[in-house]
Structure 1
Amino acid sequence: MVQLHDARRLHYDVRLEVDGVLKSWAVPRGPSLDPTVKRLAVFTTDHELEYAGFEGVHPDSQYGSGAVIVWDAGVFTNLTRDKQHKPIPAAEAIENGHIKFRLHGIKLNGAWAFSKTGEDWLMVKVRDAEAAPDLDLTVSEPRSVLSGLTIEEMAASV
């Protein structure tokens, strides 16, 4: 799932359920459908599964303050393989600094990869049938898949 979070800076929290927790990356500019675009992704603390459906406005809290909407929801399939094409478990792939996955979401579909580069990570769209270099879903699809609200409407709701 992907949450749009207006904390100190607006960013998209991309979360993959792995071994009973949500592994999380903050992606300031959001996921891109263009395979030539590399998006900064900052690996953050694991979140509890119950957080997956959260929408609202956080006061100062352990997860950061500000409005949150569920921008996209769905499931993912781990596509990570070793050199012999054997599957690598998602937790191990993340620990190794590279996970390739397919999203089956309401907005995002297709394959992406998170790759660690020094302290940070990059999120890159894999070249596949769902790649769409001319489409920016962060602009064309600003609303929550749960409530239908924009991040601005959520912030104003309190």
Structure 2
Amino acid sequence: MTLNEYNQKRNFVSTAEPEGKINKSVAEMIFVVQKHAASHLHYDFRLESEGVLKSWAIPKGPSMNPAHKRLAIQVEDHPYAYRNFEGIIPEGNYGAGNVIVWDNGTFILVDDENYGNLNANLQKGHLRFIIKGKKLKGEFLLVKWKAKKENSWLLIKANDEYATEEDVLLQDKSVISNTTIDSLKS
């Protein structure tokens, strides 16, 4: 998946979303989770890789409970600049609806035999990483779900010191603007 697909789906005259350009962090790789009230409420989970944000839509949202295996549908790459995007995508545009930055921070790959190459790890269909976020913390796995469609993955929380049965989604405010998705105004 490339930024070409991202750019083709958007009309930048009518949406405030950033245009798809490659850029990257200076230091640690970043992750972001955006709560997105489009046709269906979901959470967009993004990991930085080679100047873009690899992206998955998670219908039920991430969980800190290792017993919850969350469906994660891989979607088109998003530009690095999307990491701070909050606002309203107007009706008539791809993904129309409200978006907030629900969580963000950095991540590192675990047991990385590909020396930091997230794309190579994704090709294997298994990715282990440690998140240092404001809401999400600790080790997670993204595992290709071979029984489903090609773009189907599972996001799983590892059983570590941060694992909990508490519902992290109840923390519903943006980590950037401290607003809820429902309070965004057009």
Fold conserved between structures, TM > 0.5: yes
State the percentage of identical aligned residues. Answer: 41
Unaligned runs of 5+ in 1: none
* C-alpha separation in 1, matches of 2:155 and 2:110: 15
Q: How far is 1:80 from its partner?
A: 4.2
The question of 1:131 aligning with 2:163 is answered yes
Which residue number corresponds to residue 129 of structure 2? 101
CA distance in 2, matches of 1:49, 1:151: 22
TM-fit CA distance, 1:8: 1.1
Report what 1:113 is aligned to.
Answer: 141
The match for 2:22 is none
Give TM-score, length-normalised by structure 1. Answer: 0.90
Q: 1:143 aligns with which of 173, 176, 180?
A: 173
**In structure 2, which of residues 119, 133, 146 is the aligned counterpart of residue 91 of structure 1?**
119
Report the CA distance between 1:73 and its aligned residue. Answer: 0.9
**Distance of 2:57 and 2:88 partners within structure 1:** 17
Question: Aligned ranges for residues 1-158 of structure 1 at < 5 Å?
Answer: 1-59=32-90, 60-62=92-94, 64-81=95-112, 87=115, 89-118=117-146, 119=149, 120-133=152-165, 135-139=166-170, 141-154=171-184, 157-158=185-186
1:79, 1:32 → 2: CA distance?
19
Whole-Å separation in 2 of the counterparts to 1:31 and 1:68? 16
Q: Give the distance between the partners of 1:45 and 1:9, measured in 2 at CA.
A: 18
State the superposition RMSD in angstroms. 1.4
* Cα deviation, residue 40, structure 1: 0.5
Pick closer, same or farther for the CA change 1:42–1:80 going to 2, 3 Å: farther
Q: How many aligned residue pairs are there?
A: 150
**Is contact 2:49-2:117 (8 Å) kept?**
no
Letter in 2 for 1:129: E
Deviation at 1:37, TM superposition (A): 1.0
TM-score, normalising length from structure 2? 0.77
Distance across 1 between alignment mates of 2:39 and 2:98? 11
Instruction: Find the aligned partners of 2:116 and 2:130 in 1 and give their Cα distance.
Output: 14
Structure that is richer in strand per residue: 1
- C-alpha distance in structure 2 between counterparts of 1:96 and 1:20, whole Å: 20
